[in-house]
Structure 1
Amino acid sequence: MDLVLATAGQMVRTAGRLSPRWGAALALPLFAHVARPRPVHPDDRSTMEVARRSAIRIPGVDRRGVDLAVYEWGHGTNLVVLAHGWNGRASQFATLVRELVSDGWHVVAFDAPAHGESDGRGTYLVDWIDALAALQRSHGRIHSVIGHSFGGLATLVAIAEGVQADRVVTIAAPGDADLLLAQFRTMLGYDERTSAALRERFAARYFPGESDPFARLSPLRRALPPSMPLLAVHDEGDRIVPFGELARIAAAQPTARTVTTRGFGHNLVLTADPVLDAIVAFVGERSTILQPHTVRAAN
């Protein structure tokens, strides 16, 4: 834990002992805080440089409007949309973009608010959902949505909310928003009373008027349409999103097929050849990968 995080945790814990509501008030901005955008990896620059660039506008968490950077490769009506994770950016999909475009797919990705080249200072799940809905409005029906980590959770929720797609792929995705709040509590170390107050404040801030927003944000309680093909990928050694989330997602979705990896972790899985092959095959509706299997990183 770095010094800034340790200091923040101490402040939240101290305030929470005096009043759980005070602790929650300090914690909520930290929950929506995004670190400085990660740089584009040198291996990904050439792919990003040839992208056709545009922007979409979504309401944003403060509902004042925010412009998102959008990247586009390939052509045609067979659209694949990519959704990166928290503290990620669209460029992380560069290797997958090259694979998909070489197979003839039209690919679109975006940087969420406060990520990559997009505007904004804070964000939450609603922004990913709004971005996917906006891309559908501008491009029409989506063939496949592929989401990594937080973007995978957002993808599942967006489909349940009405975004139309033929296929869904999640990579290292959490099963619901409750996990994220639990991880945040562990990271800052505040008590149960402050945790309960934060849940209430979170619901009032991001979902005013909703009696149970956590049901809305849970693919475990709001499964995809029964006929929706889903491919779920997760690495056994993932240190960011627990590997057990794969089983929770698959259990909630009868059509799910899983790919388990070993040795790639949370982010390298995006560039692992066996995973790329499985995703491209699944998106192309090839039946050969429609069985659960495990792939391992080379030594």
Structure 2
Amino acid sequence: MNFKKNIRSIIIKSVGQYINFLHIVQPKKALHLSYAFFSQPRIGRITKENLPKVLQNTHKETFQHNEDYFQTYTWKGNNTKILLVHGWESNSARWEKTLPYLQKSGSTIIALDAPAHGQSSGKEFNVPRYAEFINKVVKKFEPNIIIGHSIGGSACLYHQYLHPETSIQKMIILGAPSDLKTLLDNYIQLLSLNPKMHPLLEKQYLKNFNFKLDNFSVAALAKQIKIEGIIAHDTNDTVVAFEEGQKIANNWKNSRFITTTNLGHSMHDDNLYQEISHYLFGAKQ
């Protein structure tokens, strides 16, 4: 495992060095490559022929949205519906360890593959597009509960801010980042990129989505969220800093903040899932 991590670290640093070199000789190409590396997932794809076992015995639907299509998987149950929203470089199979706790309630469970992940189309992942996918699924299935992990949690919060009047009554957010600017800062640090790349990447986001990174903070948006829910974040999360979860919790007034330790970014844990199940279903479990 450490060997794989070392190899990955070497590859990441090599990419960063190459981008820094390009920035000197071909700055436009350097910007294109660095933006692509930041926004295009390298893992998380699945195919019908190589579908993880947990997704095989589900009702599958493919939805069209503008030029994109995206995949959903449904475990059919009662009239209580739960929507699961995964994070970066993942897919709907990431919920395998969570499902048993939710299925005890008899609920209908729907999982969604993000843009450029799983069996959904596209090369680029971003929160605004993910929120559009979520909204189409919410309109179709009318879930009562939404659960998001990592940047999928950020997309859930952003969707709830944009569309407060939906069927969703409770929201669970696991290990989610708050500020897009913080993610970009971490990305630049991870690749050891030339600091001059930062304003260039910010301009690219402004061009593509018509917002400045400083203005895109789900913690700030959380002030407007009226439904209740849980935010859980691990103190040893090395992917999304614990402080990001704290910022969201401080602004989402109807939320409860759960602190975990030594779970890392995945947040898979029996005790945590039992606590979430009790919160959602109470004596029904």
Question: Is this contact kept in 1: 2:43–2:90, CA < 8 A?
Answer: no
Which one of the candidate residues 85, 88, 92 is aligned to 1:86?
88
Gaps of 5+ in 1: 60-64, 287-299
1:78-104 per-position Cα deviation (integer Å, ceiling 9, x unaligned): 221110010111111123222212202
Is 1:274 the equivalent of 2:271? yes
1:15-66 per-position Cα deviation (integer Å, ceiling 9, x unaligned): 33467655423311111121132779xxx9553222111112234xxxxx22
Question: Is this contact kept in 2: 1:111–1:118, CA < 8 A?
Answer: yes
Partner of 1:295: none
Q: Residues 82 and 224 of structure 1: is their aligned pair in 2 closer, same or farther, counting only changes over 3 Å?
A: farther
Secondary structure (helix, strand or coil) at the match of 2:62 reads strand
CA distance in 1, matches of 2:198, 2:122: 26
TM-score, reference length from structure 1: 0.82
Gaps of 5+ in 2: 1-7
Q: Percent identity?
A: 21
TM-score, reference length from structure 2: 0.86
The 10-residue stretch of structure 1 (4-13 or 190-199) with the greater mean CA deviation from structure 2: 4-13
Taking only aligned residues, the RMSD between alpha carbons, in angstroms, comes to 2.4
Question: Is this contact kept in 2: 1:159–1:224, CA < 8 A?
Answer: no
Map 1:1-299 to 2 at 5 A: 1-17=8-24, 23-37=30-44, 45-59=52-66, 65-140=67-142, 142-162=143-163, 164=166, 165-205=168-208, 207=209, 210-212=210-212, 214-215=214-215, 217-225=216-224, 227-267=226-266, 269-270=267-268, 272-284=269-281
Q: How many residues align?
A: 271
Secondary structure (helix, strand or coil) at the match of 2:14 reads helix
1:216-244 per-position Cα deviation (integer Å, ceiling 9, x unaligned): x3212212545321201111111111112
Structure showing the higher helix proportion among its residues? 2
Moved segments of 4+, more than 4 Å: 17-22
Q: Residues 104 and 38 of structure 1: is their aligned pair in 2 closer, same or farther, counting only changes over 3 Å?
A: same
AA aligned opposite 2:12: L
1:58-79 per-position Cα deviation (integer Å, ceiling 9, x unaligned): 34xxxxx222121101234322
Question: Is this contact kept in 2: 1:145–1:167, CA < 8 A?
Answer: yes
Q: Residues 121 and 38 of structure 1: is their aligned pair in 2 closer, same or farther, counting only changes over 3 Å?
A: closer
CA distance in 1, matches of 2:9, 2:58: 36
